[in-house]
């Protein structure tokens, strides 16, 4: 906690890390762990995007995130289906955390950050670059590998690997 400009009144820096997390990957977890060290409270917010056809339900994604972040006391897992700005106001948060894997992510993320700032001047976006070992990793890639029974144990936490096997069946083909 920190003190405000009005003296010794404490305030908490609350950041929101929004995403679909379908499923959560080791790359997501890397950002979550690192951001949890920077902010007093980190809300990982699962977007309920009705225009997508996710593999896991919102409830399943929230459950998996709770399992894999249970060792992080300042991390809260939640979901939302509104504009991110409205959700941020509800959570009394002014900071958005976004991960950047590669330069190709930057243009899209800059557009989102600029739009959010236009909608609410009090909102700031913090970009965290992926650890190099996860710079290629996406939920889409993980689902594609798992769908064809490829090995995903280095890409996702064990709880997520088990959930993927539950969706796609067991068995792994190794190279």
Question: Of 61, 101, 130, 143, which one is the catalytic site residue?
Answer: 101
Is 79 known to sit in a ligand binding site? no
Instruction: List the structure tokens of 99.
Output: 């991960």
Task: Mark whether 33 is an active-site residue.
Answer: no
Is 20 known to sit in a ligand binding site? yes
Question: Of 36, 41, 130, 139, which one is the catalytic site residue?
Answer: 139
Is 34 known to sit in a ligand binding site? no
Is 65 known to sit in a ligand binding site? no
Question: Of 28, 41, 61, 143, which one is the catalytic site residue?
Answer: 28
Is 51 known to sit in a ligand binding site? no
HSE, side-chain direction, 13 A CA sphere, residue 139: 14
Is 139 known to sit in a ligand binding site? yes
Question: Of 52, 81, 118, 147, which one is the catalytic site residue?
Answer: 52
Show the DSSP H helices in the chain as ranges: 26-38, 58-68, 84-90, 103-119, 139-147, 158-168
Instruction: Sort residue 7 into left (φ over 0), alpha (ψ -120 to 50) or beta.
Output: left
Is 67 known to sit in a ligand binding site? no
CB atoms within 10 A of CB 22: 23
The strand pairing partners of 46, in sequence order, are 19, 79
Task: Mark whether 2 is an active-site residue.
Answer: no
Extract the annotated binding site. 20-21, 28, 52, 84, 98-101, 109, 134-140
Which residues participate in the annotated binding site for substrate?
Answer: 20, 52, 84, 98
Annotated binding-site residue numbers for ATP: 20-21, 28, 99-101, 109, 134-140
Known catalytic residues are: 28, 52, 101, 139
């Amino acid at each position: 906690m920190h003190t405000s400009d009005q003296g010794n009144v404490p305030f908490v820096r609350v950041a929101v890390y929004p995403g679909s997390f379908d499923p959560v990957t080791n790359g997501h977890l890397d950002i979550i762990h690192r951001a949890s060290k920077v902010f007093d409270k980190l809300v990982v917010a699962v977007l309920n995007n009705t225009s997508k056809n996710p593999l896991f339900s919102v409830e399943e994604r929230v459950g998996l995130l709770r399992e894999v972040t249970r060792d992080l006391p300042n991390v809260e897992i939640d979901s939302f289906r509104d504009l991110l700005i409205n959700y941020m106001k509800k959570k009394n948060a002014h900071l958005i955390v976004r991960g950047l894997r590669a330069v190709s992510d930057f243009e899209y993320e800059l557009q989102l950050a600029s739009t959010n700032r236009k909608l609410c001047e009090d909102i700031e976006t913090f970009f965290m670059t992926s650890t190099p070992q996860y710079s290629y990793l996406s939920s889409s890639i993980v689902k594609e590998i798992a769908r064809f029974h490829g090995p995903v144990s280095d890409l996702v936490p064990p709880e997520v690997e088990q959930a993927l096997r539950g969706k796609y069946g067991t068995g792994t083909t190794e190279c």
